[in-house]
A and B are shown apart, each in its own frame.
Chain A
Amino acid sequence: MTEIKTAEELNKKYLREGMWPTIFCNGCGNGVVLEYTFWALEELGWDMDKVVFVSGIGCSSRLPGYINADGLHTTHGRALAFATGIKAANPDLNVIVFTGDGDCAGIGGNHFIHAARRNIDMTVIMINNFIYGMTGGQLAPTTPFGSIATTAPYGNIEHPFDICNLAKALGANYVARWTVTHPYQPIKSLKRALQKKGFSLVEFLAPCPTAYGRRNKLGDIKKLWKWYEDHTILLEDYERIMSYGSEEEKEAMKDMFPIGVFQDIDKPGFFEEYQKLVARLMGKNNKKTAETEAVIKK
């Protein structure tokens, strides 16, 4: 079905004309996530007239601007709430949110919690670069313990939180984490996430050489990208070690990020439930049902 074979052809189809070049630095992971998303969309063959991209504020949140589709670049942290309204107004639209770790897990944490809990039909792609990139490298809720940020100049004494575990606990239909350095599983995973009804989250660990890598002495761009390969482990392996491994092996997991699919279930999405409600209340031929009569009389 797909005729597109090269990244060049892909970009020609999906990139918005006139917005090039991007604001991204050399070695930034954001562009790679965009590329993976294009591949996933291309494999799905979706009509781009019916896809809406939503984002908050941050480097990662600039992605919708580069896509040849409707895009809503909103306020810092609030993308998921805006996205909820779009989907409500027209459930036929496919709503995809690009958000950063600060945007999603920091200032937008509560919107994230409730969109996931409600199982709102959307796919959230969170790009976690461990830092507030756009504003120059301040502490994020995902910054690893001990890391340096401009606002944690002596090393971070806070504990980062794991958005995938949070989403899983909230009952999101699909939750996965990958890094930008592994192309194949992420594209497959994105495809699956996009096809899911209800809430899906794909987190990407992505390098920010400018505001994180450099300050934390993670080496040049090549070394930094390698860091992600060295510090990730498949979720199955991670869980096996945490259950059956020796103390030493477990200790070694402290600096590792498990990647893979954290959850894949099929609860009806919010709008499916809502449509059921509407059907129930409107009754046949728009006649009031006994149930609505009872509520009205109250």
Chain B
Amino acid sequence: MRYKRDPKKIREVLGDKVQFVLGDMACVYGGILAGCSFFGGYPITPASEIAEGMARLLPRVGGTYIQMEDEIGSIAAVIGASWGGAKAMTATSGPGFSLMMENYGFAVMTETPCVIVNIQRTGPSTGQPTLGAQGDMMQARWGTHGDFEAIALAPSNVQECLDFTIEAFNLSEKYRNPVCVMADGEIGHLRERITIPDEKDLKIINRVEATIDKEKFIPFGVSQTRKSKVPDFPVFGTGYHTYVTGLTHNEKGFPATDKQKDHEKLVKRITSKISDDIDKIVKVEETHLDDADIAFVTYGASARPAETAMELARKKGVKVGMLRLKIVWPFPEKVIYKLGKKVDKIIVPEMNLGQIVHPVKEAVSGNCEVVSAPKIGGEMHLPHELLPYLGVK
């Protein structure tokens, strides 16, 4: 029997409407609210609290938690669960995310909805396990081999950990693509007040399951029931007898490994189903951009010191604004192109040596100066460290 989301039971298990919790725990709440009924994970700092929270709460709502033998197995089980008809997620950090990369691509190729929460730390390798960073922003975009489109959200506070995990499920169900919640150690281990949204305020999207005649069903082409490049989902056990493979396949799902046309058609469909909708997916927050000469382009934890630096600079008469990327992938190219035409300078503070600054430069196309403001070593920027970039002492 498949899991059935029971809003009453979920609320009973999550407890009070207003709580003071860790970012990690807010991801657990978001997942359970979205209807997640399977979590496969492997402990890793600073994401372990998500596995622990799931182990504690999931069985109480009737879902399944399994601690897998490693992160490769975790994401594999998550993808399997999704084909079994469950909403499923895992959570990890740098080293585990690296291990997941092959099956991340498998989820893309097989169009499997699933959510990966990455409470990022730094590297290379084991790096600084207990400290936060934004080490995997590019790995989320390019980490697996081949051509694909990534969807990734970056929460800047604990409430967003909850909200964005729900949104991640919605996007993954809608586009049938893995979706990453790219939080960072700072946010994952931050404790803040959150409000659990009421059921009536929740927007929950479920994949469109296949219902049409079995003989006529085409599992890996455009939808046969809607105007969409995302095919309806033939849940295992519902009689569709679907063959799901990571090999290049034709619309029937049969291997077509030596066929140029089939490969091109498939990969163009699974990438354009997302890129066609980029304007609908993109989510940014603009602050003080109306009169800004200088703009921060930020995401995740780095938005917090940038915001303070912006306010400090404004007090000194420097017109600074901020564009915060709530969704980093797909990249809001048009928004940033426009911003580049408007301001003289864009500063990109990141807790790495410069990752998102590159697509920013590409989108700006030389229309303004783009400056990277990196900080590594497991500490957030302090607001005053960002002031010199704004020409403020």
- Chain A: residues with CB nearer than 8 A to chain B? 16, 18-19, 48-50, 52, 54, 64-65, 68-75, 78, 81-93, 110-111, 113-114, 118, 274, 277-278, 281-282, 286, 288, 292, 295-296
Contacts and interface: CB of A to CB of B under 8 A. Distances in A.
Nearest to B1: A92
B372 interface: no
Contacts of B1: 90-92
A18 B77 contact: no
B102 interface: yes
B contacts with A: majority SS = mixed
A75 B73 CA distance: 11
A288 B243 contact: no
Interface residues of B, number: 53
B32 interface: no
Interface string B244-272: 11110000101100000000000000000
Contacts of A292: 60
Given A49-B238, A49-B239, A85-B80, A65 B254 contact: yes
B81 A88 contact: yes
Contacts of A72: 80, 83, 236, 244
A contacts with B: majority SS = helix
Interface stretch (B62-70, B337-345, B361-369): B62-70
B37 interface: yes
Interface string B223-241: 0000000000010111111
A296 B255 CA distance: 49
Interface stretch (B84-92, B160-168, B299-307, B318-326): B84-92
23 contacts: A19-B254, A48-B241, A49-B237, A65-B254, A70-B237, A71-B243, A71-B244, A73-B243, A73-B244, A81-B72, A81-B77, A82-B77, A84-B66, A84-B68, A85-B38, A85-B82, A88-B66, A89-B64, A89-B88, A90-B237, A93-B84, A114-B68, A114-B69
Contacts of A75: 76, 102-103, 106, 246
Contact of A282 (B40, B62, B242): B62
B44 interface: no
Contact of A88 (B77, B242, B252, B255): B77
